[in-house]
Structure 1
Amino acid sequence: MHNALLIAELSLREAVRKRLVVVLLLLTAAFLGFYLYGVFRLEGTLDQRAREAGLDGRSVNGAANLSVMYAAMFGMYLVYFLGVLMAVLSTVGAVSGDVESGVMQSVIARPISRAQLVLGRWLGFTAVNVVYVALVGAALLGGIFLITGFVPPAPLPALALILLAITLVTALTVLGSTLFTTLANGIGVFVLYGAGFAGGILGSIGTFAASPTLTTLGKVANTLMPTNALWLGASYHLQPDVLRQMGEMTRGANPFFGGAPLASGMIVWAAVYALLAVLVAMWQFSRRDL
């Protein structure tokens, strides 16, 4: 474990040396500023309309504040999506990149096993990705609160599910990095992510149209790639009662927001899935012929 933690530390230093962290901070600051400025202008418009209607104010969790609620929801969806992109792009060459460049030959000559190398890579990149998404999510929700006074009902459970999704994507990308070339790995993980998103759409259509076949296909896709199911579970915790009631009236027709809490079995499966991906990656790279 000591060697794995050492590799994780080296992965963090590598990210800093390549200025990945600096670029991320600058781009993220631009994204947050752009999005929160839009929320600021939205809040001003809603206040003006309330005054024109002769109202002293509007309820933060009422129907008059739906626009702000949706802004918070879609903002967190963007954080989730950016986190997935970050997880794939930062980790896509975790192992395969060193193999293709020839660096791996000198690394494995050190007193460290291949399994420890893979574990350390996963720990290092997971730490970067999880901390990044946690900070961006907290900054977005904190900014929306300062501007509008709105806070989602349960932001911490929602953020925890998003971080679990990022952990899973990072694990699968590390696994792919031990099996395929860097380019093939990136394409494969994005295809899996697309399968999970398609599962959410199929599940929503199946629920709305009362189609058992589509509902089953959606469950299969979500089992194969639970990331979208984790986001839907997170979005449920972000919705006030008024949004949940609207979701019940439309019978879950919106594929972006969940209408029910995520089953605990799916949460456990996502965590086990990530662990299995890392273990298989460690085993696969240990027996791989370089």
Structure 2
Amino acid sequence: MHNALLIAELSLREAIRKRLVSVLIVLSLLFLGFYLYGIYRLELNLNERAVDAGLDGRSATGLSNVPVMYAAMFGMYLVYFLGALMSVLSTVGAVSGDIENGVMQSVIARPISRAQLVLGRWMGFTVVNVVYVALLGLALLAGVYAITGYLPPSPAPALGLILLAVTLLTALTVLGSTLFTTLANGIGVFVLYGAGFTGGILNAIGTFADSPTLATLGRAANIVMPTNALWLGSSYLLQPPVLLEISKAARGANPFFGSDPIPVALVLWAAALAALAVSAAMWRFSRRDL
């Protein structure tokens, strides 16, 4: 474990040396400034409408504040989407990149096992990705609250499900990095991510159209790649009762937001799948001929 932690530390230093952290900070600040300014203008517009209607104020969880609620929800979806991109792009060459540029031969000559190397790479990149997404999500929610006074319900467990999705994607990307070239790995993981999103769409269409076949296909896709299901579970926790009523009345017609809580078994499966992916990556790289 000491060697794995050492590799994790080196992975963090690598991210800083390649200016990954500084680029993320700059781009995240631009994203937050742009999005929160839009919410600020939305809040001003809603206040003007309330004054024109002769209202003294707006309830933070009432129907008059639904646009702000949806804006906060879409903001968190963007955080989830950016986290998914970050997980894949930052980790896509975790092992294969070092093999392709010839660095790996000098690394494995050191007194460290290949399994420890893979574990350390996963730990280092997971820390970077999870911390980035957590800070971005907290900053967005804090900005929305400071501007509008609205805070979605259960933000902590909702953010936890997003972070689990990020952890899973990082683990799958590390596994792919031990099996394929960097380019093939990136394409493969994005296809898996798209399969999870497609499963959410099929499930929504199947529920809305009363098609058991489509709903079953959607649930199967969510089991194979549960990242989208984790987001839907997160979105359910972020919705106040007024939005849940709208979602249930639409019978799941909106594939971006969940109208039902995520099953605990699916959360446990996502965590187990991440652990299995890391274990498989350690086993595969230990037996790979370089």
Tell whether the structures are fold-level matches, with TM greater than 0.5: yes
Aligned to 1:226: 226
* Other structure's SS at 1:262 match: coil
* Cα distance in 1 for residues equivalent to 2:18 and 2:24: 11
* Cα distance in 2 for residues equivalent to 1:246 and 1:213: 25
* Cα distance in 1 for residues equivalent to 2:202 and 2:227: 15
Which runs of 4 or more aligned residues in structure 1 lie more than 4 Å from their structure 2 counterparts after TM superposition? none
* Cα distance in 1 for residues equivalent to 2:221 and 2:82: 21
* Cα distance in 2 for residues equivalent to 1:79 and 1:214: 28
Amino acid at match of 1:237: L
- List per-residue Cα deviations over 1:219-244 (Å, max 9, x = no partner): 11001100000000000000000000
Amino acid at match of 2:44: G
User: Aligned-pair distance for 1:208?
Assistant: 0.6
Q: Does 1:88 align with 2:88?
A: yes
Q: Does 1:236 align with 2:209?
A: no
Amino acid at match of 2:6: L
Aligned to 1:254: 254
* Other structure's SS at 2:184 match: helix
Amino acid at match of 1:147: I
Q: Does 1:24 align with 2:28?
A: no
The correspondence of residues 82-231 of structure 1 with structure 2, limited to 5 A, is 82-231=82-231
Q: Percent identity among equivalent residues?
A: 74
User: Aligned-pair distance for 1:277?
Assistant: 0.1
* Cα distance in 2 for residues equivalent to 1:157 and 1:75: 17
* Cα distance in 1 for residues equivalent to 2:146 and 2:283: 48
Q: Does 1:51 align with 2:65?
A: no
* Other structure's SS at 1:161 match: helix
* Other structure's SS at 2:153 match: coil
TM-score, structure 2 normalization: 1.00
* Cα distance in 1 for residues equivalent to 2:245 and 2:116: 49
Question: How many pairs were matched up?
Answer: 290
* Other structure's SS at 2:253 match: coil
* Cα distance in 1 for residues equivalent to 2:69 and 2:250: 18
* Cα distance in 1 for residues equivalent to 2:144 and 2:30: 16
User: Aligned-pair distance for 1:137?
Assistant: 0.1
* Cα distance in 2 for residues equivalent to 1:233 and 1:271: 14
- List per-residue Cα deviations over 1:79-106 (Å, max 9, x = no partner): 0000000000000000000000000000
Q: CA RMSD in A?
A: 0.3
User: Aligned-pair distance for 1:170?
Assistant: 0.1
Amino acid at match of 1:146: A
Amino acid at match of 2:206: G
* Cα distance in 2 for residues equivalent to 1:52 and 1:155: 33
* Other structure's SS at 1:259 match: coil
* Cα distance in 2 for residues equivalent to 1:26 and 1:55: 40
User: Aligned-pair distance for 1:248?
Assistant: 1.0
- List per-residue Cα deviations over 1:160-195 (Å, max 9, x = no partner): 000000000000000000000000000000000000
Amino acid at match of 2:45: T
